[in-house]
Amino acid sequence: MSKLVRRGYLVLVLLFLYVPIIVLILQSFNAGISRAKWEGFSLRWYAELFKSPSIMNALYVTVTIALLAALISTVLGTLAAIGIHALRRRPQAIMMTMTNIPMTMPDIVTGISLMLLFIFTQVPRGYFTMLLAHVTFNIPYVILSVMPKLKQMNRYSYEAALDLGATPGYALRHVILPAVMPGVITGALLSFTLSLDDFTISYFTTSPLVQNLSTLIYSEARKGIKPTMNALSALMFIALLVLLLAVNRRVTATDNTKNGGKS
């Protein structure tokens, strides 16, 4: 009986989470404007979606910022993880605690603090400030993705490469990076995913003239939900779902390889 109750509870939770999303996706194919009446299957709203200059501009901002933020935060986060790993135990613990703090803070705190920083330094908010904000909140996730791989590798491999005549740069590229590459890729995918759908931090660190898809949907929703917003939300959900599945598959494959190597 208890097993049946647990399964029923799980089904109710999943229905509560995903039925609204399913309804939204179905409504994006509704030929009519009314959300209360089905007027036939149509791709009309998807066609209008790609004809909208504001949506296409927001899509460009979203994708380019996500790509640049993922690239920059992956490089900086990987180098930071290598540096933290080289510290002694106590300084390393302090640095890891400082790394975890931004991840535990609410997004609205991070967004407002960055907004105040840009206002104090008189940096005009726009594309550049949004990019800086995304890089800032992505770096801790990259560090936490790379650190486990650094702890798994042989700590003497780097020193052995130096003893054999390798330069520090060569040893970094051919010894450390190949060992931590699964963590680097996972961190990059996670950074791209987080940047792609971020709203709160983006809202506080940009101007009304530069919007990503999340802030655009919010501003349009205040005027009334248009059918094109259903199509846009459906595409965003599918894109994020594919990315999250890719990240989870990458992590699972890495864990299986690790367990297989141990066995």
pLDDT of 189 over the 50 cut: yes
Mean pLDDT of the chain: 85
The rounded distance, in Å, linking the Cα atoms of 79 and 184 is 10
Residues 122 and 228 in one domain: yes
Evaluate whether residue 36 is within a structural domain: no
Evaluate whether residue 223 is within a structural domain: yes
Evaluate whether residue 90 is within a structural domain: yes
Residues 15 and 131 in one domain: no
Residue tagged 């933020």 (tokens)? 69
CATH of the domain at 191: 1.10.3720.10
DSSP string, 87-118: S-HHHHHHHHHHHHHHHHS-HHHHHHHHHHHH
pLDDT in tens, 41-82: 888 888 888 888 888 898 899 999 999 999 999 999 999 999
Residues 126 and 253 in one domain: yes
pTM for this entry: 0.79
Evaluate whether residue 63 is within a structural domain: yes
Q: Residue 104 is part of which domain span? A: 47-262
In which band, very low, low, confident or very high, does the pLDDT at 256 lie, cut at 50, 70 and 90?
low
Residue tagged 């996706």 (tokens)? 25
pLDDT of 182 over the 60 cut: yes
Using alpha carbons, list the distances in angstroms from residue 155 to 78, 163, 176: 16, 14, 10
Burial of 71 (0-12, 13-18, 19+ CB in 10 A): middle
Residues 26 and 102 in one domain: no
Contact 191, 142 (CB under 8 A): yes
Evaluate whether residue 6 is within a structural domain: yes
Residues 5 and 126 in one domain: no
Q: What's the domain count of the chain?
A: 2
Q: How many CB atoms lie within 10 A of CB 48?
A: 14
